[in-house]
Amino acid sequence: MLENVAVVLLDGVHPFELGVLCEVFGLDRSEDGLPVYDFAVVSAEGPRLRTHAGFEIAATEGLDRLEEADLVAVPAADDSLERGFPPDLLRALTRAVERGATVLSVCSGVFVLGAAGLLDGRRCAAHWRHTELLAARHPEARVELDVLYVDDAGVVTSAGTAAGIDACLHLVRKEQGVAVANGIARRMVVPPHREGGQAQYVDRPLPRATSDSVAGVLSWMERHLDQDVTVDALAARAHMSPRTFARRFQQETGTTPYRWLLGQRVLLARELLEGSDVTVDSVAVRAGFGNAATLRHHFGQWVGTTPHAYRRAFRSEGARYR
């Protein structure tokens, strides 16, 4: 269930990270047929808080608001890497997870979750600049070095700033289905799902004059998910050798052509299962898997369930694929 959302603010909160959570969960998009969340901004450190950008925010809700939230989100704040955090907040985060709510961090907000003991024994994500410090400070945590976000047993952690959008949309997709997540993403004008990890954003030299070529191939692949393609054929379309194309694709997307294509095909299959009444065999063909057995295999690996079970859970009554 995802209906009640509370965002916890610490002094020095970063406005963009806060804005990500407000944009995904705090806007009324009911005219588009999207859910409206019971959304609140909660202060952990007094009624007025300064932001990282120098202006102030007034937050009248207190920590007791966390007790009824389905999702408690913690955006980044100044000094999150060094400072201590209010004990009442840490206890409230622990109680939230214990009662089955989800706790989500954006960027350095992960250090608050670590201080609450919520990372112990769990996989987690952090900005690539902070992964070593997070691992040193919380040795029981399993810090993933090259991911945009991690969802582990009710604790969702995201890497850098924009990865918070990925984590939020993942949570919406998980709880309410692809159609809702895609609808929110469309309004935000962001990709509903990004493949790849942080490797694509780490500071390093990249070959020049490649983005247009790879971007053109990505666009073509999105329009032809039902076609059999090879790296050789994609490289020819980009006017590169297969080895050069594979290397540059990895550098610019953080993943391989095969895995990127597979992820997009699974995403399309989810959309078709939710929003159409076509058979699973037809879904397999349209999404580029060829047959239902291949679809079931990859769908199970990526989504953790079968196409039939997924459709039962997320099928919209009366929906038709457009």
Strand partners, 38: 4
CATH fold of 205-254, please? Answer: Arc Repressor Mutant, subunit A (1.10.10)
4-188 is a CATH 3.40.190.10 domain? no
The whole-number pLDDT of residue 208 equals 31
- Asked if the domains 4-188 and 259-314 are classified in one and the same CATH topology, the answer is no
Cβ atoms within 10 Å, residue 20: 26
Using the predicted structure, report yes or no on whether residue 122 has a pLDDT greater than 60: yes
Tokens of 283: 């879904």
Cα 71 from Cα 101, distance rounded (Å) = 6
- pLDDT at residue 179, rounded to an integer: 86
**Is the pLDDT assigned to residue 304 strictly greater than 60?**
yes
- Quick one: average pLDDT of 44-64? 90
Q: For 227-285, what is each residue's pLDDT tens digit? A: 888 999 999 988 899 999 988 888 777 788 888 899 889 989 988 998 888 999 999 99
Indicate the pLDDT class of residue 197, thresholds 50, 70 and 90: low
Mean pLDDT rounded to a whole number for the chain: 87
Under 8 Å between Cβ of 194 and 254? no
123 strand-pairing partners: 142
CA distances from 179 to 96, 125, 292 (A): 27, 26, 22
The listed CATH number (1.10.10.60, 3.30.565.10, 3.40.50.300, 3.40.50.2300) that belongs to domain 259-314: 1.10.10.60
pLDDT digits (tens, 9 = 90+) for 86-109: 999 999 999 999 999 999 999 999
Enclosing H/E stretch for 72:
strand 71-74
Do 80 and 10 meet the contact criterion of CB atoms below 8 Å apart? yes
Interatomic CA distance for residues 296 and 143, integer angstroms: 30
163 φ, ψ (degrees, to nearest 5): -65, -20
Which residue is listed with tokens 């053109």? 216
The pLDDT tens digits of the residues spanning 66-88 come to: 999 999 999 999 877 777 899 99
**Cα maximum dimension of the chain:** 60
Order the strands of the 38-43 sheet from edge to edge: 38-43, 4-9, 71-74, 102-105, 155-158, 149-152
254: left (phi over 0), alpha (psi -120 to 50) or beta: left
Domain boundaries, the chain: 4-188, 205-254, 259-314
Give dist(CA 86, CA 103) in Å, integer: 17
Q: What was the pLDDT predicted at 1? A: 84
